[in-house]
Structure 1
Amino acid sequence: MTTSSNSGTPETTTHFGYKTVKESEKEKLVAEVFHSVAAKYDLMNDLMSFGVHRVWKKYTVELSGVRRGHSVLDIAGGSGDLTYAFSKRVGDQGRVVLADINDSMLKVGRDKLADRGVSGNLEVVQANAEHLPFADNEFDVITMAFGLRNVTHKEQALAEFYRVLKPGGRLLVLEFSKPKFEFLSKAYDLYSFTALPVMGKLVTNDSESYRYLAESIRKHPDQETLKGMMQTAGFRQTTYHNLTGGIVALHRGTKA
């Protein structure tokens, strides 16, 4: 989609939730959302998912195949839940990079991991998923939990993940998706567009960020579309697992 600037030059637009915005503005708008919610991010995750997000993340860790000595990138790692689990798995000889584009979220994650005693095998890097500051063939595993829907150019991010993975390395994308059943979809819509903004207002004094959350989920590609995007990026053995009736899906692919 394009619009014309004052100079008459077409400017590409994209979606920010249900709004149409200039591509050049989206990154800033998403950043403002996460600056706003960072301090209460973990609390809101527990409240919004009734704690089930911990089960989704545990399942992701189990399917990752991460073992001692591995190098792992947790992109859009936020407050560091997956990073913490991987740090224990890779051991002293391994490496885990907690990366996020948002410095407020990185601070929360870094402080949380320090409080839990994670240090020796941890790196914290501010990074944009579309332009990763890492070498080719650097990581055994890359995970991205609840971050891909906020990326403007998802195809570019997937290409970057493929580039920095080692041959045979695995990508796991945990993200909200499309419920499999009509009754569940309707109930989920009702909850998302009524309860979430109210909850956000009460806990963080910010209802609009959680309205964006609900809208961004609806704009995210469905399970089959995302699987196809991963295959286009070069990933093989690409599969997905629906969790909680498809409210969340875990996509997994391997670099050839």
Structure 2
Amino acid sequence: SCISLPSRYKPADTDSRTNRHYALNFRAYTHFTSPIRRYVDVVVHRMLAHAIAEDPNPPFTTVGAGSNTGLPFTPPEETIYDRKTVELIAENCNLRKSKSKQAQDDSGRVYMALCIKACPIVRQAIVIDMGYKSFKVMLPKMGIDAQVYVDDIKAFKAQVVNAKGEKVDDSNEGSTPKSERYLSITWKQGGPPEKIGVFGGVCVKLTAKMSPPPIDIRYHVVQHGSEEEKATAAAEVKSQEKPPSLKRSDSSSMIEMADELQQ
């Protein structure tokens, strides 16, 4: 039978110890819901129908769709699945489920990019992972994780250094723990460098990337308290008085993006 896991579908093992439902004290167990929702549920329904039809003393009688005669219903032979077929069906369902989730996430990101196209926004972010060419930040108020590249920081000098202030690169990356790496940013010539480690805070500006496709969001680290941050924040406040509306060209971009995702 097919069992539903949080992330993947797979055929059940033949070992009754792994199929057993502890709370219900059942020797064998499978999970399914309405067959109009998921194809794996259709498979489970078909397999159960065959199991009931082959039982010499079935607990109840299956009746054909649209029939009120009460005569036993015999499932068609083409719906008899061997284990290999069930494995292939489960793998295909996993692929489709993954693609659907990806399309959902991409659609949300495209819509957000279109919303901030006219008015970029600034948000406080927390560094949650530190590489040496890039680092990952989390925007708590937006529930977003994003990868930011050091070379994209518009500053006089930006690099990842170790506790001694030495630049982390290919030669010493393996010997420098992430907990001992720091993002060092010198915003202007002659100014003191700003050092940010894991769980440190940075100011991030979000802008829309419309071309080349795919549509996406760009994340830029800006100096906290700078004129760029203040101007972006002021423009955001002003835009809230009249929220931006999607134009026909934006809708076309979303349709083109949807076509790309389907391919």
TM-score by length of 1: 0.23
TM-score by length of 2: 0.22
More helix by share: 1
The structure whose RCO (Cα within 8 Å, separation 6+) is larger is 1
